[in-house]
Amino acid sequence: MMAHGRNGAAAPILRSSVMQYNRPGPRTPSDAPNEHPDTRLVRAGRPVAKYTGVVNPPLIRGSTVLQPDTATRRREGKRWLEQSLTYGLNGSETHFALENAIAEIEGGTHCQIVSSGLAACTVPLLGYLSAGDHLLVPDMVYGPTRDFCEGLLKQFGIETTFYTATATAHELAPLFRPETRVLFLESPGSHTFEVQDVAALCALAHQHGAVTMLDNTWGIRHFQPFQHGIDLSIQALTKYVGGHSDLLLGSITVNDEAHWRRVRSTAGMLGQYASPDDCWLALRGLRTMAVRMNHQMQSALHIATFLSERPEIQRVLYPALPGDPGYEMWKRDFTGAPSLFGVEFKSSFTTEQSDRFIDSLSIFGLGASWGGYESLIMPTYGTIHRSHDIPLEGPTVRIHIGLEDPQDLIADLTRALDAMQR
Ligand SMILES: *Cc1c(COP(=O)(O)O)cnc(C)c1O
């Protein structure tokens, strides 16, 4: 281990109560093709035998990695595409464990961990686009991704066309140009939750020689990007993987060597790094993600149904809810859903009343992000920027359902809806 000898500057921190012996080293999905995905969430990225039997991979902090001799240093320096311990920026065993786990869950071959979910969106765009190029981005893309396209990419001479959230392949086809290099997707989209026909759009993009990138944050655990023609799958691990609202991380997963080379080298050139402490926490979050998500989805369906039946509410925007415009496509492509949805009030309500509703809640926290164990609410009216029309008339909010008792959450919402009327 690194604590001994010259090969390493920092001692790993091994935290474990259980010592587990006799388990194999790193595994890939092909090692256990019939394993349920939830079993993989527990087993992925745990080369137990490597770490004297402790259950969790070690937390390794370190910038300098000492080498035994110059020949090793030269040899290791060339291995930047692999998981080689050469310098802190290239990652440590803690990063590699998380990368292996996420690659396995997303169904890819390689994964690059980056500093945030937003970085996981911007790094590949920078890596694949040059001055004069064009890209297609869905209108309901995560706001900061839109800002990046309209900001830095525009500054670098790269032009973005925002296509409608529900565009079919037929409608999207005329938007491709000879210089269109990237089709970006996010399904369902931020705030309005439209579901995209990912397979059809990717097939079209590939006919035009474009690379397909999907922000798959909403689809973690429930959408297999590479089975639908995605080339790069993006995750904000900040959300359910972290699961406890105390870390920021992103991942870019690929299933092809050429894409891996491009993604890995771009992240390296940009000096992308993630804290090993955050990676360690994300690995811990991963182990309980299935039970958290199952519980939260059941609560979310229950509460979304309750809200959709309230007279104040025009519409609940949640593809997992029967009757949602995206429901059929969601049922076809996804195996489940996170507990995140939008709510549109009837247009007779003012934004002041919607604010009063939010301010009257006592269990729901008012704050950004989602995927943690606690319920959150955010006003979204005034923050939904679109190039095309959006079919929303009343004030809107976004709700994330946590692990609190659903009846307590419904009581909280009922009180706030009553307060809103006054
Ligand atoms: C939260 C989020 C991100 C950004 O993640 P951060 O870790 O907060 O930077 C990107 N895409 C989607 C869809 C998100 O919900």
What SS3 class is residue 342? strand
Q: Say whether 354 sits in a helix, a strand or coil.
A: helix
Q: Indicate whether 75 and 179 sit together in one domain.
A: yes
**Is 49 a domain residue?**
no
Both structure tokens of 10: 């920092």
- If asked whether residues 305 and 389 sit together in one domain, one would say yes
- 279 and 318 belong to one structural domain: no
Together in a domain, 278 and 310: no
Residue 402: CATH number of its domain: 3.90.1150.10
Same domain, 245 and 389: no
In this structure, are 262 and 343 located in the same domain? no
> How many domains, in total, are found in the chain?
2
Q: What is the per-residue pLDDT across 146-172, written as a single tens digit (0 to 9) for each?
A: 999 999 999 999 999 999 999 999 999
Residue 36 falls within a domain, yes or no?
no
Identify the residue whose C-alpha is closest to ligand 1 atom 3.
117
| Within-domain flag for 123 | yes
73-109 b/e (C-beta count within 10 Å ≥ 16 → b): eeebeeeeeebbbbebebbbbbbbbbbbbbbbbbbbb
Percent of the chain scoring above 90 in pLDDT: 82
Per residue in 338-395, pLDDT tens?
Answer: 999 999 999 999 999 999 999 999 999 999 999 999 999 999 998 889 999 887 999 9
Answer whether 118 contacts ligand 1 (Cβ < 6 A): yes
Of 46-55, 213-222, 234-243, 273-282, the range with the lowest mean pLDDT is 46-55
* Percentage of the chain lying above the pLDDT 70 cut: 91
**pLDDT tens-digit readout, 84-109:** 888 999 999 999 999 999 999 999 99
Ligand 1 pocket check for 142: Cβ under 6 Å: yes
The reply to whether omega before 406 is within 30° of 0 (cis) is no
Query: 184-243: per-residue pLDDT in tens?
Result: 999 999 999 999 999 999 999 999 999 999 999 999 999 999 999 999 999 999 999 999
159: CATH: 3.40.640.10
The answer to the question of residue 5 being in a domain is no
User: pLDDT at position 6, please?
Assistant: 40
Could you tell me if residue 25 is inside a domain? no
| Alpha helix positions (H), 69-175 | 70-77, 93-106, 117-128, 143-148, 154-155, 169-172
Ligand 1 atom 5: the closest Cα is on which residue?
117
Asked if 123 and 264 sit in the same domain, the reply is yes
Structure confidence at residue 371 (pLDDT) = 98
Give the mutation target among 215, 240, 340 for probing the ligand 1 site: most ligand atoms within 8 A of CB: 215
DSSP string of 6-23, one letter each residue: SS-SS--B---S-B--S-
Co-location of 250 and 317 in the same domain: no
Domain end marker among 285, 317, 341: 285
343, 360: one domain: yes
Band of pLDDT at residue 23, cut at 50, 70 and 90: very low
313 shares a domain with 207: no
Residue 120 clears pLDDT 60, i.e. is over it: yes
Ligand 1 pocket check for 116: Cβ under 6 Å: yes
Q: What is the pLDDT of residues 2-11, one digit of tens each?
A: 333 344 444 5
Q: Which atom of ligand 1 is nearest to the CA of 217?
A: 13
Nearest Cα neighbor of 232 from 188, 270, 181, 295 is 181
| Inside any domain, residue 158 | yes
Give the position, in ligand 1's atom list, of the atom nearest the Cα of 121: 10
**Does the pLDDT of residue 79 top 60, yes or no?**
yes
Strands in 132-266 per DSSP E: 134-138, 159-163, 180-186, 211-215, 232-236, 250-254
The domain containing residue 338 runs over which residues? 288-421
Cα 214 to middle of ligand 1, angstroms: 12
Please give the model's pTM, rounded to 2 decimal places. 0.92
Instruction: Let me know whether 163 and 137 are in one domain.
Output: yes
Structure confidence at residue 7 (pLDDT): 41
Pocket test for ligand 1, best of 118, 339, 399 (most atoms within 8 A of CB): 118
The reply to whether 70 and 88 lie within a common domain is yes
Q: State in Å: Cα 204 to ligand 1 middle.
A: 26
Instruction: Report which protein residue has its CA nearest ligand 1's atom 15.
Output: 217
